[in-house]
Amino acid sequence: MSDQITIKKPFDSHVHLRQGAMLRAVAPITAAKFASGLIMPNTEPPIETVAVAEAYRQEIISACQGDALTNKFEPLMSFYLTRTLKPEEIEKGAAGEGGTKIYAVKSYPWGATTNSQWGFRNILEAEEQLRAMERVGMPLLLHGEVHLDEHGEEVDPYYGEDTFLSDVLPRLLEQFPDLKVSLEHISTKEGAEFMEKNGKEGKLVATLTPHHLMYDRRQVFSGGYHPILHCKPLIMRGKDREALRALAVKGLPFISAGTDTAPHPENKKFSSCVAFGVFNSPVAVEMYAQIFDEMSALDKLEGFLSLNGPKFFGTEPCNEQITLVKKDWQLTEPVVCEDGTKVWPVGHVKHGLGNETFHWQVSA
């Protein structure tokens, strides 16, 4: 395979940028390597009105200004599927009223991950909002796991996605046949098989993260637990990783890159109550390239990284290009916020699995 590849600048279908000082530190990193991204709405408070989405969008744009970034990063905004999300806001957002278009609504299972306390316990209860989304053609982004069963008992997190796919999702698709759905960050062999069988361009799509493609739980627990890889959904078994990698490189138009980059301050990642989220934006594009190279599928990388995501959300892919070269390098520093807070990226030579080396690099 080639030691260099040039592709359209990528699109991130799933990105967390947080707020305030952390946003100002991490947003330019995403903007340097991605032309655009679908911004996650699980802020505090959550994004559930066009006015709040517009204010958040302006905060992101302001953080991404500067000569090095050429002011070109385009944040695509989303709503959080809360009990207080009004159907009229969905309709207003779909029409682009108020100056900001809303491209999707994200569902977080109640209590399952960071800032998920506003989510529905059962997504099928969100009938009013889902009917509005069907009417206007707004996609639903699913964190597709069952977190709590019908008795309120916690489900084994290693089986949460499988349970969702076999029980909740079929009922959702039957009840809302015109709903556009994206299964976010699928993590299991069952998820890969479901998408290969049922995926449909423009209707039922899925995203894959670099960390679910790069690692399996043997690495997560090698030499002790590695909190830098603590995320939801969890990083699964070796056979799950292999199934996801095989799915990624098939060139299917309904599979795309969604990094789920999720920064947390050092004191939350390295604590007795570890925060969910892998901060991968400093190396996500390079990880994807390395994985596709290992699978002898670099010719499929541009579709996965740069074309499929924009098409699903009804936007044009970027005309700007980036070049990646095959070159070994390491992550040796944290990202430091203006208030001194450190954010440690996946693969860091000390806080990752230990002396990790990446084999592809975005050319300067």
Which domains does the chain possess? 4-362 (3.20.20.140)
**Considering the chain, what percentage of its residues have pLDDT values greater than 70?**
96
Residue 159 to residue 179: CA distance in whole angstroms = 25
Cα-atom radius of gyration of the chain, to the nearest Å? 19
pTM (two decimals): 0.95
pLDDT at residue 70, rounded to an integer: 47
For 211, the enclosing helix (H) or strand (E) is helix 210-214
pLDDT at residue 155, rounded to an integer: 81
Q: Beta-carbon neighbour count of residue 271 at 10 Å?
A: 12
**Strand stretches in the chain, DSSP E:** 4-8, 11-15, 36-39, 74-80, 102-107, 140-142, 181-183, 204-208, 255-257, 321-329, 335-336, 342-343, 358-362
In the predicted model, residues of the chain with pLDDT beneath 70 are 1, 66-71, 110-116
The token duo for 185 is 């960050």
Strands 181-183 and 204-208: parallel
Identified catalytic residue from 162, 240, 260, 293: 260
Using one digit for the tens of pLDDT, what is the confidence trace for 129-143?
A: 999 999 999 999 999
Residue 19 to residue 231: CA distance in whole angstroms = 19
**Known catalytic residue: 260?**
yes
